[in-house]
């Protein structure tokens, strides 16, 4: 009987609170739909409109696919596990959720790494940017990002198996010694790299702004706005995910008592990042706003507007 209780999901108390359970379901379903719909708009926009067929936007497309899968896979799995009071067959489901979670989180930050490299080449080496960063190079970066993410997620998930199955409990975070290198490889090192690159971009952009000629001021302003927007995407990602990884690190060190419910809340904050990126694009990019309007109004189904000039 005691062993059976240990196999129950650690969030089993939610099952006893019917109102809370239904409220959680409504919130998660709403969040999942927002994530899927928002990122689907980005994906359709980049694929359909020829003007958006640029190396940078292909990286944005890869990031949007990652965010969409968070809403379509990770959130539903997490909700099922949270709502299950004592589901003995949830071991496989929990492992699948963990695998997708690590895969997509790692893919997000590696895609942001690629975007920062793209922006670095555009700002710091503008004359050679088109030769260095082309479609082939961009696709190669996307392939490497997803491949590394898949390998890391498989290794971390397999090594995360608990030695005693009887004491196994499904968590939204992994707290074993084997899992310690995971956050270092998937979050901290890429974050330091991205932050360093964007700091370099900021310094170079400021220096270029002082030397810019009036004849190309408008073009430079657009480029600067694109850099700021992508930096905001990075900032939003860090705001959403840093609390979780910091609390997880403190949890591992055992120097501070952090309730599991707090780490779970930080995890959900991280997942909510997937709904924010499309909002950033819609708010800062005029061409994305125009593309979204044409898609939502159904105009693209009335004819071939793929070559439309998005202002």
Q: How far apart are CA 83 and CA 297, in angstroms?
A: 37
Domain count of the fold of the chain:
1
Average pLDDT, integer, range 53-57? 92
> What pLDDT score was predicted for residue 2?
43
> What pLDDT score was predicted for residue 163?
44
> What pLDDT score was predicted for residue 155?
86
Categorize the per-residue pLDDT at 297 as very low, low, confident or very high, splitting at 50, 70 and 90.
very high
In a domain? residue 230: yes
In a domain? residue 70: yes
228-240 residue pLDDT tens = 777 788 888 888 9
In a domain? residue 140: yes
Q: 84: closest CA among 168, 8, 1?
A: 8
182-225 residue pLDDT tens = 678 778 888 888 888 888 887 887 776 666 555 455 556 666 66
Whole-Å CA distances, 290 to 33, 56, 89, 233, 310: 22, 18, 47, 20, 6
In a domain? residue 223: yes
User: Two tokens at 137?
Assistant: 């190079």
CATH of residue 230: 1.20.1070.10
In a domain? residue 237: yes
Higher pLDDT, 117 or 178: 117
Q: How far apart are CA 297 and CA 303, in angstroms?
A: 13
User: Two tokens at 103?
Assistant: 């895969």
In a domain? residue 19: no
Domain with 216 in it: 2-12+34-301
User: Is the torsion defined by CA of 105, 108, 114, 115 positive or negative?
Assistant: negative
User: Two tokens at 192?
Assistant: 């330091």
Average pLDDT, integer, range 94-115? 88
- DSSP character at residue 302: S
In a domain? residue 163: yes
- How is 35-56 classified by DSSP, letter by letter? HHHHHHHHHHHHHH-GGG-SHH
Say yes or no to pLDDT of 94 above 80.
Answer: no
121-150 residue pLDDT tens = 888 888 899 888 999 999 999 999 999 999
Average pLDDT, integer, range 69-86? 77
> What pLDDT score was predicted for residue 49?
94
In a domain? residue 310: no
Count other Cβ atoms within 10 Å, centred on residue 54: 14
């Amino acid at each position: 009987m005691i062993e059976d209780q240990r196999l129950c999901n650690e969030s089993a108390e939610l099952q006893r609170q019917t109102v809370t359970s239904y409220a959680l379901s409504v919130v998660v379903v709403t969040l999942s739909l927002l994530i899927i719909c928002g990122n689907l708009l980005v994906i359709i926009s980049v694929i359909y409109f020829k003007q958006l067929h640029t190396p940078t936007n292909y990286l944005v497309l890869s990031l949007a696919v990652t965010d969409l899968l968070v809403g379509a896979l990770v959130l539903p799995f997490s909700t099922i596990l949270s709502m299950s009071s004592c589901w003995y067959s949830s071991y496989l489901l929990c492992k699948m959720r963990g695998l997708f979670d690590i895969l997509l989180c790692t893919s997000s930050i590696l895609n942001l790494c690629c975007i920062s490299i793209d922006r670095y080449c555009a700002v710091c080496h503008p004359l050679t940017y088109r030769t260095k960063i082309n479609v082939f190079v961009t696709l190669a970066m996307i392939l490497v990002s997803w491949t590394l993410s898949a390998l890391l997620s498989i290794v971390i998930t397999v090594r995360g198996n608990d030695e005693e199955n009887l004491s196994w409990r499904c968590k939204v975070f992994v707290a074993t010694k084997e899992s310690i290198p995971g956050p270092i490889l998937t979050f901290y090192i890429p974050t330091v790299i991205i932050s360093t690159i964007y700091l370099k971009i900021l310094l170079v952009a400021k220096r270029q702004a002082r030397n810019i000629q009036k004849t190309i001021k408008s073009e430079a302003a657009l480029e600067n706005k694109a850099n700021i927007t992508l930096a905001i995407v990075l900032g939003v990602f860090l705001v959403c995910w840093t609390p979780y990884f910091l609390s997880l690190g403190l949890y591992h060190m055992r120097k501070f008592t952090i309730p599991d419910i707090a780490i779970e809340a930080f995890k959900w904050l991280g997942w909510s990042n997937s709904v924010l990126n499309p909002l950033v694009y819609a708010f800062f990019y005029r061409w994305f706003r125009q593309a979204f309007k044409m898609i939502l109004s159904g105009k693209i189904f009335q004819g071939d507007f793929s070559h439309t000039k998005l202002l």
